[in-house]
Amino acid sequence: MQNFLNTYCIWTSRKNPFPSLPPLMIMIWFNKFTIVFIFTLLTTNVAALGRPYKDNSYMSYYYGCQAQMNAEVSFCDMRDRRCSVCGDKNAVATIAGCMQALGKTSPKYTSAMIQGCRRSRVKIRRDWFDEAIEHYNKNAKSVSDIPGFNKHMVPQVPIKLNPNNSELYQESYKRFYDNYGHSLYYGAGILGYWALVLLLGAVFNWSKVLFPNASKKMTHPLLNYWRKHVTMPAAFGTKRTQEQNFLKFFGFLILSRFESLVIALFYGVVLLCNALNIEALDNDPRFNGSRYKAEIRYVADRTGITATMFMPLIFLFAGRNNFLQWVTRWNFGTFITYHRHTSRVMFMLVVIHAVCFTIAEGDRYSRAVTRNYFIWGIVATVAGGILLGSLMLYLRRRWYEWFLLAHIAFAVIWVVGTWYHVVDLGYIQMVYPTVAIFAFDRLVRIVRLIWFGFPKADVYLLADETLKVVVPKPKSWRLIPGGHAFIHFFKPSYFWQSHPFTFTDSVEKECSIVLFCKVKGGITHSLYKTLVASPDKRCKIRVGIEGPYGEDTPAKYADTAVFIAGGNGIPGIYSEVYDIARRGKNQSSRISLKLMWVVREWKSLHWFYEELQSLKNTNIETTIYVTQPSRFSCIEEFARDSNSDDSIDEEKNDAKEQVNISSEVKEIHLSENSSSCDEIGGAGATTGTGAGVGVDVDDYDEKSNSLEIISLIKNDLSHIQFKEGRPNIEDIVATEIHESMGSTAFVTCGHSVMVDQLRYYCAENVDNKEKKRVDFYEQVQVWS
């Protein structure tokens, strides 16, 4: 791995060998194909260590002959566990004669006798058939030719089996052994279904990137109908990202209609693949004449094999370094959705496998349960049940860190249990890819952390609601507009935790990224308490960054791109729209860019103020909606900040005047024993959102000072239009489509209600009268 990293560093530091391509693009493609190559190489090499799967269907002829022989004649007492036909030459000759009658005399079929006897710990020669068939041809007799013959008599010659019964026994054992082969094919069919889904997703999403002009013209009524009613809306109603509650503890999220269709078809494919070719014979001799037990066993084998076959896909869907995200351009949240449903289906199949196998064993269950493979199967099933129970949204949302630890621990137990369950059954090669995928994902995470380094980050508490984390980054670490990274804060109590946050390029410090973390529970609240007790509400913490992850949206190819953010959803939205504006400066065709940010109070502007200032010299048309403009909590933060002397400064010529105003406001607000923000911290608030602070300031002087600060903000941010109240999403969508010169793309991240409204009205306007292309992209990803 070190050699690979050294080679990579040398390669990327050289002069661009492809002058027609930007260096960043080359690095991106190199990273992508490197990940795919390493994954393929690792999986292939590890899988090669396993024993190859052997098709045992050819053994059905041997076992069919043996079963018929045991039913018609006794060469030893079958009640004795030491009884083996392999040690009796007449019995061996009888089987040879049966196989000769079936025309199965090639080494492929006769080797089944060697394997069968090996299981009875009896070794026979490889050329056993020649000697046995010669003995059979010379001495074999029918039972009718033996005077006084009965079933319990041990014959002294080979026996000619009843040809009228051969078809029944052969068909019985053929169906039994063919079911193993059919299970592999049907398991491959389930994987093939996902391959088709992923292929269609890749074609659909990459067409927007590779053929943007053609994509913008795709407004045929049939395509619009598909997009309006299938790919864009929620499955039911308008709610997609909003949590739905059922009996308080059973919360759930509604999927998109397309995801629902994919999952519904997946359930149908699984049902078909586990139901076809299951029919057994009446009076099935393999199962003591019971058709019911035969079909129960067929179902047990089928479900166990198919479940094991798509287990690697489940782990791949859940991985952060899932290369399928790049192949399909679906986000991590989409794959987590598919991960949850495929894992549930797999567990249901395992439960069916366990129940059916228990029934099939019948009286032999007490003996079977003592076997090693059976015990590990129980262990894996119990671990899977606990995993499934821990997936409750109620538990994930309230104790996510503990949920994640338990999830990983029981997933490992599941894999270990499955490994030992199938290792002696000939299916271990299906578990190797799962282990390889899991190990590869963890390895790449560690490499990403080491690659970034472990710098000290500056952490600020701003507006008493948001943590601003400024992290120095390596020059080779690329930023993904709208992307995210997982951050580790190296403190003894939570160093092991990693949380995803969107990031932006720092407008103040070169070679630094900024992550904005809303104060909630868990680690952000712990940091909040630390910062409240720190001077100036800031500190330095050593961190680790794992990333970047994600992809930018194809909105940059539209004629008009409208970015709508709510609250703390602004960083990723800002990062992408700013990147489009920066890149578009040197292009002849200019895209119309619009940025809308919905905030509750004025204080929210404080923690994103520098980024708002940076929009001044761009072609981005920015609008900020303040839904509760009469709330002035933490407004003095604009004056308190150490950079306030230049944060509210529109023109250099007016700097001195602005400084005097800021100083005056600062003096007024800080003359009290504590500010409204200090009261929040001192009141033991758990969220830091400002709840419980006085909404309206009755004191005239204080209110006028707050209004004066707001006036200064508007003056400094004169390139931004401010509106008070909530935005009308329906009117915004209709207006932007009407005013656009062509296609319109909407990109959003924020409160789930706003995101769902935008999704709904975008879907409603797909078939607009002006026949303009409308696209909807969401950066919000619900993972927990």
pLDDT (tens digit per residue) in 450-484: 999 999 999 999 888 899 999 999 988 988 999 99
What pLDDT does residue 673 have? 37
DSSP state at residue 252: E
Higher-pLDDT residue of 391 and 9 is 391
Residue 121 has pLDDT above 70, yes or no: yes
Residue 36 has pLDDT above 70, yes or no: no
What pLDDT does residue 38 have? 45
- Say which range, 112-126, 230-244, 568-582, 598-612, has the weakest mean pLDDT: 230-244
Nearest Cα to Cα of residue 458 among 444, 468, 449: 468
What pLDDT does residue 645 have? 41
CB neighbour burial string for 205-244, b if at least 16 within 10 angstroms, e if fewer = beebeeeeeebbeebeeeebeebbeebbbbbeebbbbbee
Q: pLDDT tens for residues 374-419? A: 999 999 999 999 888 777 766 666 777 777 788 889 999 999 999 9
Higher-pLDDT residue of 30 and 182 is 182
Contacts of 282 by beta carbon, 8 Å cutoff, 6+ apart: 291
Rg (CA), the chain: 35
Q: pLDDT tens for residues 128-165? A: 999 999 999 999 999 888 888 888 788 889 999 999 99
What pLDDT does residue 765 have? 96
Higher-pLDDT residue of 249 and 642 is 249
Grade residue 558 by pLDDT with cuts at 50, 70 and 90.
very high
Residue 706 · residue 697 · CB < 8 Å: yes
Higher-pLDDT residue of 572 and 660 is 572
Higher-pLDDT residue of 495 and 187 is 187
Residue 23 has pLDDT above 60, yes or no: no
What pLDDT does residue 677 have? 53
Q: pLDDT tens for residues 297-353? A: 999 999 999 999 999 999 999 999 999 999 999 999 899 999 999 999 999 999 999
Hey, what are 387's tokens?
């995993």
What pLDDT does residue 584 have? 76
Sign of the CA dihedral running 354, 360, 362, 365? negative
CB neighbour burial string for 72-85, b if at least 16 within 10 angstroms, e if fewer = bbbbeeeeeeeebb
Amino acid present at 527 = L
* Residue 564 burial (C-beta neighbours within 10 Å; 0-12, 13-18, 19+): buried
What pLDDT does residue 137 have? 94
What pLDDT does residue 251 have? 65
Hey, what are 573's tokens?
């939205």
Residue 171 has pLDDT above 70, yes or no: yes
Grade residue 485 by pLDDT with cuts at 50, 70 and 90.
very high
d(CA 671, CA 681): 18
Task: Give the SS3 label for residue 10.
Answer: helix
> What is the phi/psi pair of residue 227, to 5°?
-70, -40
Percent of the chain whose predicted confidence (pLDDT) is above 70: 80
Q: CA angle, corner 686, sides to 683 and 687, nearest 5?
A: 115
Residue 745 · residue 558 · CB < 8 Å: yes
Give the end-to-end CA distance of the chain in Å, rounded to a whole number: 33
What pLDDT does residue 244 have? 66
DSSP state at residue 369: T
> What is the phi/psi pair of residue 479, to 5°?
-95, 140
CA distances from 722 to 171, 488, 718 (A): 80, 36, 9
Nearest Cα to Cα of residue 567 among 760, 753, 345: 753
Residue 42 has pLDDT above 50, yes or no: no
d(CA 703, CA 691): 19
- Say which range, 420-429, 525-534, 650-659, has the weakest mean pLDDT: 650-659
Q: Is the pTM above the cut of 0.75?
A: yes
Residue 665 has pLDDT above 50, yes or no: no
Grade residue 492 by pLDDT with cuts at 50, 70 and 90.
confident
Mean pLDDT of 424-447: 92
Residue 441 has pLDDT above 80, yes or no: yes
Hey, what are 438's tokens?
């899991």
Sign of the CA dihedral running 423, 425, 429, 435? negative
d(CA 175, CA 165): 16
Residue 567 · residue 518 · CB < 8 Å: yes
Nearest Cα to Cα of residue 603 among 639, 571, 575, 655: 639
What pLDDT does residue 310 have? 92
- Say which range, 32-41, 64-73, 566-575, has the weakest mean pLDDT: 32-41
CA distances from 610 to 163, 663, 725 (A): 91, 19, 24
Grade residue 499 by pLDDT with cuts at 50, 70 and 90.
confident
Residue 69 has pLDDT above 80, yes or no: yes
What pLDDT does residue 406 have? 84
Q: pLDDT tens for residues 74-99? A: 887 655 556 677 888 999 999 999 99
- Say which range, 9-23, 36-50, 296-310, 756-770, has the weakest mean pLDDT: 9-23
Average pLDDT, the chain: 83
Residue 659 has pLDDT above 50, yes or no: no
